[in-house]
Amino acid sequence: MSYAALATQVGYQSPSGDREYKQTKHIRRVEPSDFPYERGLKTKYVCIAGLVLCWTAGIAITGFGSWVIYFVHTGQAADTYWYLPHMAAESVPLATNLLVTLLVEATGYIHTTSLRWALQREGRLNFNSNLRLCTFSKTSGPNKWYSNMIILGSVTMAYASSSLTFWHSNQSTSITSMFNMGVDNVSIGGIPILLLGFCFLTLAAMSTWALKATDIPCWSSSPLDTTLAAQHAGNVVRQAGRSMRSVHDIHEPSIPAYPQDRQGSAWRAHWEVRLTVVLLWTLVILCFAWAGIVSHLIRFYLPGSDGFGSWSIVPSDNTAQLYWEPSKYNQTINSLLIIFLFAILQGPLTFGLHCAELQVNLSRDEAFWRKATNINGCQLEQYDSVKAAFTSWQSLTLSAFKTILHWLFGLSVAVLNGRVYFGAAQIVYLGLLAAVAASFVTYITGRRPRGPQPAAYGHLQTLTNLIDEWSPTMYWGHKSDGFPAPHAGTAHYALPAPKNMPYL
Q: Mean pLDDT lowest for which of 182-191, 354-363, 400-409, 450-459?
A: 182-191
Tell me the C-alpha to C-alpha distance, in Å, between residue 230 and each of 149, 170, 370, 454, 477: 28, 56, 20, 20, 24
Distance of CA 315 to the CA centre of its chain: 30
Q: Where are the domains positioned within the chain?
A: 37-462
Check residue 84 and give its pLDDT. Answer: 61
Q: What is the mean pLDDT of the chain?
A: 84
Burial of 181 (0-12, 13-18, 19+ CB in 10 A): exposed
CB 280 within 8 A of CB 445: no
**Cα(259)–Cα(248) distance, integer angstroms:** 13
Closest alpha carbon to 166 in 88, 105, 104: 88
- Give the number of other CB atoms < 10 A from CB of residue 329: 6
Top-confidence residue, 108 or 338: 108
Check residue 17 and give its pLDDT. Answer: 37
- In the chain, what's the furthest Cα-to-Cα distance? 88
CB neighbours of 278 closer than 8 A, spacing ≥ 6?
none
Strand boundaries in 234-335, DSSP class E: 321-324
**Cα(17)–Cα(480) distance, integer angstroms:** 26
The answer on pLDDT for 450 being more than 90 is yes
Per-residue pLDDT reduced to its tens digit, 257-271: 999 999 999 998 988
| pLDDT more than 70, % of the chain | 86
**Cα(156)–Cα(340) distance, integer angstroms:** 10
For the entire predicted model, the pTM comes to 0.84
